[in-house]
Amino acid sequence: MVMTLRQERDSMGAVEVPADAYYGSQTARAVANFQVSGLVLPAALVHAMALVKVHAARVNADLGLLDARLAGAIIQAAREVAEGRLDHQFPVDVFQTGSGTSTHMNLNEVVAGRANEILTGRRGGREPVHPNDHVNMGQSSNDVVPTAIHVAARRAVADDLKPALVRLASVLEKKESEFKPVVKIGRTHLQDAVPMGLGDEFSGYAAQVRLGIQRIDAVRPRLEELALGGTAVGTGLNADPAFAPAVIRGLARETGIGFVETRNHFQAQAAQDTAVELSGAVKTVAISLVKIANDLRWLASGPRCGIGEINLPALQPGSSIMPGKVNPVIPEAVIQVAAQVVGNDATISFAGAGGHFELNTMLPVIAYNLLQSIALTAAAARILADKCIDGITANRNVCAANIERSLALVTALVPEIGYDRAAAIAKAAHASGRTIREEARAGGMLDEATLHRLLGPPFTT
């Protein structure tokens, strides 16, 4: 989840670092003069950029372009960043230059400064390792930042979102099986419809989640295409032709993800269509979670004056004034997460339109919102599965009583007596307050054996 700079530092047990203590002091001090929000880019994005630096230094050394001693120090420093050990070194605001160059140069300076400390014992500086000439060799913000967005998002999907959705689908499928014998009234237009299985209802929820996983998986081939190698405008200026393919192979080996070089560097840097596509898929999952969460709230409403067909786990007191009231906390939290994800998707869609000529210049806000949406949706799916659905029980008596009272039960009589006569029974039952079974019996239209065959056995407490 994305946090403010102070929250990030507090969560790591870190303290405020004086400006002169930063490895990348030039950028750190400069951006302090125009903080807009106090929000920083997700650590996952910085870690992904640092992984690029690790493999870039290795490849440049292999190509004979970078001194092996300098490359070794860069690799060690960049590894420390990628492992989160220097997260407090990145104070740059989300709202910055649209290419993400401020954060990228902060990274180059941190890596160079730490590498110099490794080599000389003196923190910071630009000798012997230079942030541009050595750490950034063969690269540009314009290809590194889009690459990092794809790497960070792809890893977040694999490590966080997909396992959470698989868990949610599995728990729903468990409830589908558990509730298979429970018959309840269906509802359309918020009105009574024909009977159905409670397990059938949960099977629909499970299918929604499984389809959401498929939608996210469908973006994977495009998400695994990386912009690295295009440098400034997509032409690859100042990069050895062998550089990007070798770096990307290194990233693929390390992460176990099938990253490949983009088929067209110009689109990869000028547009962020894949980020927009992935955001749309995540938003669709979030909307599915809203449908599920809202149904659970309604089905558990009551406990005595609502539908009350299921029971949700009670997590906390639900009212500051009404003793004993318990609210559907988890479903309501999930719905609020979805609202945030929908808003993030609107932001990402707008930002995706910010590609002008050879560069999209809204990369930081895309990264921030996309990674937040992935993290929030994963967390919502996980908590919905573990803190809510796994503990749901069926109120079987309520389900059976609702069926017996429902006027929609008359639908089962239509094949036997026709639509119009069935409608007359429903109208009469509604006026008299009797059940369909009682009204049909009273009118003498059907004998007891036929009613039992068509409607099943009557509900008894």
- CB of 345 closer than 8 Å to CB of 373: yes
The Cα 387–Cα 376 span in angstroms is 16
pLDDT at 28: 64
Same domain, 133 and 150: no
Residues 229, 349 share a domain: yes
In this predicted structure, what is the pLDDT of residue 22? Answer: 62
Which of 435, 437, 430 lies closest to 454 in space, CA to CA?
A: 437
Q: Let me know if 420 is exposed, middle or buried by CB neighbors in 10 A (0-12, 13-18, 19+).
A: exposed
Q: What integer is the mean pLDDT of 395-399?
A: 96
CATH number at residue 248: 1.20.200.10
Q: Which of 77, 106, 137 is the last residue of a domain?
A: 137
Question: Token match 């220097």: residue?
Answer: 86
Query: Are 152 and 113 members of one domain?
Result: no
Which residue type is seen at 177? S
Residues 344 and 379 in one domain: yes
- Rounded Cα distance between 294 and 35, Å, is 39
Pair (444, 323) in one structural domain: no
| Residue 368 domain-assigned (yes or no) | yes
Q: What is the average pLDDT across 375-402?
A: 97
Tell me, letter by letter, the H, E, C secondary structure of 165-201: HHHHHHHHHHHHHHCCCCEEEEEECCEEEEEEEHHHH
Q: What is the pLDDT of residues 76-120, one digit of tens each?
A: 999 999 999 999 999 899 999 999 999 999 999 999 999 999 999
State pLDDT tens for residues 271-310.
999 999 999 999 999 999 999 999 999 999 998 899 999 9
Do 411 and 287 lie in one domain? The reply is no
Per-residue pLDDT band for 13 (boundaries 50, 70, 90) equals: very low
**Domain co-membership, 413 together with 354:** no
Query: What pLDDT sits at residue 37?
Result: 86
Cα atoms in the 13 Å half-sphere on the side-chain side of 416: 17
**What's the CATH code of the domain at 126?**
1.10.275.10
Tokens for 311, please give them.
């029971």
Q: What tens digit of pLDDT does each residue of 368-385 get?
A: 999 999 999 999 999 999
How does residue 12 score in pLDDT terms, banded at 50, 70 and 90? very low
CB atoms within 10 A of CB 399: 23
Say if residue 391 is in the same domain as residue 428.
no
Q: Distance between CA 394 and CA 175 in Å, rounded?
A: 10
* Shared-domain flag, residues 214 and 348: yes
Average pLDDT over residues 242-263: 98
Whether residue 125 is contained in a domain is answered as yes
> Is 323 inside a domain boundary?
yes
Asked if residue 460 is part of any domain, the answer here is no
79, 110, 137 - which closes a domain = 137
Whether residue 15 is found in the same domain as residue 146: no
Look at strands 393-394 and 310-311 and give their pairing.
Answer: antiparallel
How many angstroms from the chain centroid is the CA of residue 243?
33
Residues 87 and 231 in one domain: no
461 located within any domain: no
Quick check: 351 pLDDT over 80? yes
| pLDDT beyond 80 at 24 | no
What per-residue confidence (pLDDT) applies to 29?
67
| Alpha carbons 357 and 202: distance in angstroms, whole number | 48
User: What's the pLDDT at 458?
Assistant: 84
Cα 217 from Cα 207, distance rounded (Å): 15
Asked about 189 being catalytic, the answer comes back as yes
Do 224 and 103 lie in a common domain?
no
Average pLDDT, the chain: 92
What's the domain range around 237? 142-396
Q: Residue 88 catalytic?
A: no
Q: Which residue among 351, 378, 396 closes a domain?
A: 396
The reply to whether 65 falls in a domain is yes
Q: Is residue 196 part of a domain?
A: yes
> Of the listed 37, 177, 319, 432, which one is catalytic?
319
pLDDT digits (tens, 9 = 90+) for 313-343: 998 777 888 888 889 999 999 999 999 999 9
Q: How many domains does the chain have?
A: 3
Is 250 domain-assigned? yes
CATH number at residue 414: 1.10.40.30
Confidence class for position 11, pLDDT limits 50, 70, 90: very low
